[in-house]
Structure 1
């Protein structure tokens, strides 16, 4: 579905008739939450290479999760993106209490055209609701009125009411909670014969699922998963895209019950579309589903997908993709796969097009794509297999990673630096060929920064330089590296201070520590 220009189809309709609504099933309380780790493997700066290879640090896990939530949040409101303004901007619509009463009157009018016109107005206003409309949704009978339309027999009124629900659940949490009573109706529409209603119901469910664990649990308890997966069999491209949007949000979180996804046969549909579909938009939506299905702490789900041959199908879509945000979930899925055992990495790099495509993506002009691609390479270079690093060298990554690590913004540089340090930590034969004359000034900038992660990266590189490169000490002296190390002694983090002091004592004189103590006592 094109979430930027979605609209409803008009058709012949009938007068709505009230009927008994389906029963809303409440979910059973979930087990205690499990802390979900970010699927990101990279080496830390440790005392020896083997420890560095085995440790998977997640220093930016919270940042990645926040970034991921922002992406999903933006996605779920794309269908009305042109109606949204900045958070600090005033609402586009200024509805008085009189306007709201007029709207309510239209929704309850005996004339069908008046009701439809009012439903369409309501869906538009809900794109950016003023306070008066928020009160109507939260404290008045807005949802009750919409439920009557959903329970009726007029397909067009059902469609317009579902459109209203879709926009309501794209709003704040209070809106979503008020719309819970619509869930059974939405699920019923999924299995109906009205394509427009199926599409719009899946859209609303996707927005609900994006709201949080409570909504996802409620949807699953009411049996949403199987009818959604069955919709993947649709011949309608829009429905397939919208269904994937909903499924990707349902697959989020540590309590996603992914076993249900696999037992319902989701893999056969995903594999089918990856084999046959050439539309970037469809592949992107499929990849969002895979992103969350591969983000579980339990590696068994990735292994199931690997055995089904998912990697070649994903790789074939890398090169034709543009470097825009549509490629983001595809790249993130690769990152999740590479975060697992080294055998996973082997499967990736055995694909002839994988590393050449990643070399293009780490140079992308799209910042999120560039950053995620660098994280994939950090996972790849964390492999303990020498043949992996040889392929990375031969594919031409070292000059590009070195340039990124020294010439772009700090956050991007940091991602490239992890790959370089992962490579260097494999031993002297991999550390020596790196362009240290170019790299050292950049890593010294890291050390002089006030960012703990950057300082740690810089110290890690300097330690490897001093221990594994013959002229490392001379290079450090030539580039004022001693001053950079001294600057770390003012840091509050004791591990950083200790590392800096240890390196100074060992390589630049035994009196350094006493000199530092004298300086600190003077201060």
Structure 2
């Protein structure tokens, strides 16, 4: 995922009011890039069983095979163009067979000859094939061709967008579900290309018919339409998500999908909710009864494709105020271990992305009220400490944020204080767990943010625990802090020098006298 600055609360995290929305929007943009190479792709080619028939000769991968494929594609497109202009008896059948042939070529490999077909004049004839009055089979084949064409980069090829108005039109109630689903698939691929194209699709009225299709009772249709919707609204503009949220019936329909037994439909629905919760007003989501099924999936699913978006939706929601976090915690009341137990379950997986995301969600829950901190600490503290010793560096940082928030008083309780005030019971328990050495190692890291987090926590330990300075020094903390004495980063250098002067000043003076 692209690096983003997470929204943080309390003294380890800045105010959610100022940062959460921006963080969620940046995450949404980062996700759109991440999904292109992940299991849930931003673009999807449609293949078919009949593709292999007669295509073996093109699968050698050598130069001769490539040239043969390109020449035969040009011939197939020329045949389709000729058949489209023929008005004699039987022309419709010849046109359909030629269209199927082109479609098989566009589905025959991981790198279909899209550019060759487009340069040969395919797009105008596909537009012709999509006109109203065409047979259902012809509409299906033409939209299938466009689905695979749109897998390619279309951003710089405006003529590829010529069929878009007809694709949108065939999403309507008068179209068969097969045709509507294939058109939604094609539009989803177009939408996955760029924000500029998403704006064009939104301006041409694609949102409402896709939303209607997403509420279909046919699972495969709803699944495809939800995937296309998630591509269409994924930002960075907030317009698509906000407009979708304003459509009557969309939230109840999405909630209904969350109760489906089809985990693929649940996953695609959750991705729609990821972008809604990242880019639109999350308060409506609290009132949409969707939190309980989300927490239930988080607690029970073993599918990474489901857990990833579900966790992200919950994370976006807890970026809000304490009432939002209250709603998430309440939604887990019927789940064994509650929502924190479900999050810990993700911490204890072997999936780095789930660990990192779960730690981020916990850090925001822990940045809430005193009740939230007390609710989270007994369940999450041990697993978070374990991540400090075993996880990858980016996961460790999220765990540090979570542990830091668990150890400081809520911001409203310390409004008159300039320094963070500790929750002594939590801080003491954490120090006794032996994790101070891990924070010292964090100070030594080459990552400035990691070093800063380590310094912040060590300062809290030395300032607030009676034996804090000895505890830090016993883990070679003073030496780690001294390493930053001449650091090029002004903030780290100043923090380190302040800690050295405040907590180790006498020792440093003695060392200087010995060397004098």
TM-score range, shorter chain: 0.7 to 0.9
Deviations 1:302-340 (A, max 9, x none): 111212222123223222311413211111000000001
Distance 1:485 1:446 in 2: 11
Name which of 204, 229, 250 aligns with 2:211: 229
Determine helix, strand or coil for the equivalent of 2:374: helix
Query: In the alignment, which residue of structure 2 is the partner of 1:101?
Result: 74
Matched, 1:69 2:33: yes
Per the alignment, residue 11 of structure 1 pairs with: none
Evaluate the alpha carbon distance shift between residue 346 and residue 485 of structure 1 in structure 2; reply closer, same or farther with a 3 A threshold.
same
Deviation at 1:413, TM superposition (A): 1.2
TM-score by length of 1: 0.80
What CA deviation, in whole Å up to 9, does each residue of 1:362-408 have, x standing for no partner? 1122222222111111111111x1111111123x2111100002222
**Taking structure 1 as reference, are residues 454 and 44 closer, same or farther at Cα in structure 2, changes over 3 Å only?**
farther
- Matches for 1:47-446 after TM superposition, within 5 Å: 56=19, 65-72=29-36, 74=38, 75-79=41-45, 94-96=66-68, 97-108=70-81, 110=83, 111-112=94-95, 114-125=97-108, 127-129=110-112, 133-137=114-118, 139-151=119-131, 153-174=134-155, 177-191=158-172, 192-253=174-235, 254-265=237-248, 266-274=250-258, 276-296=259-279, 301-350=281-330, 351-352=332-333, 353=335, 354-383=339-368, 385-394=369-378, 396-426=379-409, 427-429=422-424, 430-436=426-432, 438-446=434-442
Distance 1:102 1:42, change over 3 A: same
Matches of 2:190 and 2:143, distance apart in 1: 13
Aligned-residue CA RMSD (Å): 3.2
The residue aligned with 1:15 is none
Could you tell me how far 1:347 is from its partner in structure 2?
A: 1.1
1:506 CA displacement: 0.7
Between the aligned partners of 1:154 and 1:61, the Cα distance in structure 2 is: 43
How far apart, in 1, do the equivalents of 2:109 and 2:204 lie?
A: 26
Provide the C-alpha distance between the structure 2 equivalents of 1:144 and 1:196, rounded to a whole number of angstroms. 23
Cα offset for 1:81? 9.3
SS in 2 for 1:42: coil
Query: Which residue is equivalent to 1:505?
Result: 501
Kindly indicate whether structure 1 or structure 2 has the higher relative contact order, using CA contacts under 8 Å at least 6 residues apart: 1
Cα offset for 1:219?
Answer: 1.2
In structure 1, the partner of 2:486 is 490
The question of whether the paired residues in 2 share the 8 Å contact of 1:501 and 1:513 is answered with no
> 1:309 is paired with a residue of what secondary structure?
coil
TM-score normalised by structure 2 residue count: 0.81
> How many matched pairs?
463
* Separation of aligned partners in 2, 1:65 and 1:214: 13
Contact 2:44-2:151 at 8 Å conserved across structures: no
Secondary structure at 1:399 match in 2: helix
Q: Report the 3-state secondary structure (helix = DSSP H, G, I; strand = E; otherwise coil) of the residue aligned with 2:128.
A: helix
The CA deviation string for residues 340-372 of structure 1, in whole angstroms up to 9 with x for no partner, is 111111111122231221111111222222221
1:248: how far off? 1.3
Instruction: Structure 1: give runs of 5+ residues left out of the alignment.
Output: 1-36, 84-89
Distance 1:187 1:60, change over 3 A: closer
Report the CA distance between 1:41 and its aligned residue.
Answer: 3.2
In structure 2, C-alpha distance between the alignment counterparts of 1:236 and 1:321, rounded to whole Å: 23
CA distance in 2, matches of 1:434, 1:162: 59
Distance 2:10 2:213 in 1: 44
Distance 1:331 1:60, change over 3 A: closer
The 1-side partners of 2:277 and 2:252 are apart by 16
SS in 2 for 1:434: helix
Confirm whether residue 42 of structure 1 aligns to residue 8 of structure 2. Answer: yes
Match of 2:91 in 1: none
1:52-111 residue CA offsets vs partner (Å, 9 max, x unmatched) = 88875889996884354221564133445999xxxxxx8997245533332223323542
Give distance in 2, aligned partners of 1:101 and 1:446. 60
State which drifts further: 447-456 or 174-183: 174-183
Q: Is the 8 A contact 2:271 2:309 kept in 1?
A: yes
C-alpha displacement of 1:515: 9.0
Report the equivalent of 1:455: 451
Query: Structure 2: how far apart are the matches of 1:91 and 1:198?
Result: 38
Distance, in Å, in 1 between the alignment partners of 2:283 and 2:208 is 23
- CA distance in structure 2 between the partners assigned to 1:173 and 1:329 by the alignment: 27
Q: Give the structure 1 partner of residue 415 of structure 2.
A: none
State the shift of 1:450 in Å.
Answer: 0.8
CA gap 1:464/1:412 in 2 versus in 1, 3 angstroms:
same
